[in-house]
Amino acid sequence: MATIAEKPTFLNSLVNELNDCYRYRYVCYSYVQTNLRLRYRRSFLGFLWTLITPLASYAIMGFIFSYSMKIQVPNFLVYFFTGAVFFNFLSVGLGRAPLAMLENENYMRKLYVPKLNFVLNGIFLETVNFILGALALLVLGVVCQKLSFHWSMLYLPVPILVTIITLIGATAFLSVMTVFYRDIKHVVPLLMQSIFFLTPVFYTINQIPERYRWIVKLNPLYHLVESFRIPVVDGVLPPLEHFVYSMSFAIALLAVGIYTLKKYDNKVVFKL
């Protein structure tokens, strides 16, 4: 007697999507290598532009905030640059998120590649750029005797990994939604500009009146930035609450993103 096929669960769909994506992993490798090569082709300074561009803008902001505003934060420039560079990683990743499908329209129409690969391409590219820039800044800080290496820096891969998971979920969701609602690609960059000032990057949470601090703590980007900054600036591990909150948010966002990606998998191409 014929049996009715069971409907695959979300977990099974996720596993199948990841397995399918792994089989096409060389698409991501090729994308990252090609874009890095093209980005710095015929450039004398090469990847250093990844460091110079944000460094120049943050240097001006750091000067203004540290002298004009008289912010009383010990070792302010290290505090500010560490938070700003990591926030820039988040901002660029989320800013590119709505374009993941739109930028790959031609590929999606001509050949089969799991859509999750298109989500991962931009994230891995920006992760490589961030790691190169962050390492350069850390070395520069040590050379200038503004900071020293601490054993707590071994924890830094954790917030980076949580951020990657967050970006995967956000990109999967936003890239699909942008196919149907194109205004999203204009809204997200504006939203990130607002979130920058709502995240303690150039100020500390202690400078906010205590009755309003709970609002800042609802911001998952605050917990990610602090998880990266505390091991560098203070030389200690960040409080567990930062990991628990940011990881819980990342997993929830990943579930929403993968669900959206699977639900509209067969509709995206026809809407592009």
- pLDDT per residue, tens digit, the chain (272 aa), is 444 445 556 667 667 777 878 887 787 888 787 777 776 666 555 556 666 666 666 667 666 666 655 556 777 778 888 888 899 899 989 988 988 888 887 777 777 778 888 888 889 888 988 887 787 777 777 777 777 788 999 999 999 999 999 999 999 999 999 999 889 988 998 899 888 888 988 888 888 888 888 888 999 999 999 999 999 988 899 999 999 999 999 999 998 998 898 888 878 877 76
Contact 133, 160 (CB under 8 A): no
- Residue 107: its pLDDT value, please? 77
- Residue 270: its pLDDT value, please? 74
Expressed in angstroms, the distance from the first to the final Cα of the chain is 43
Distance of alpha carbon 268 from alpha carbon 120, whole angstroms: 17
Buried/exposed 23-57: b ≥16 CB within 10 Å, e otherwise: eeeebbeebbeebbeeeeeeeeeebeebbeebbee
Contact 58, 85 (CB under 8 A): yes
Q: Give me 73's structure tokens.
A: 């934060």
- Residue 39: its pLDDT value, please? 67
Nearest to 88 by CA among 55, 119, 115: 55
In degrees, rounded to 5, the angle at the alpha carbon of residue 131 between the alpha carbons of residues 47 and 127 is 95
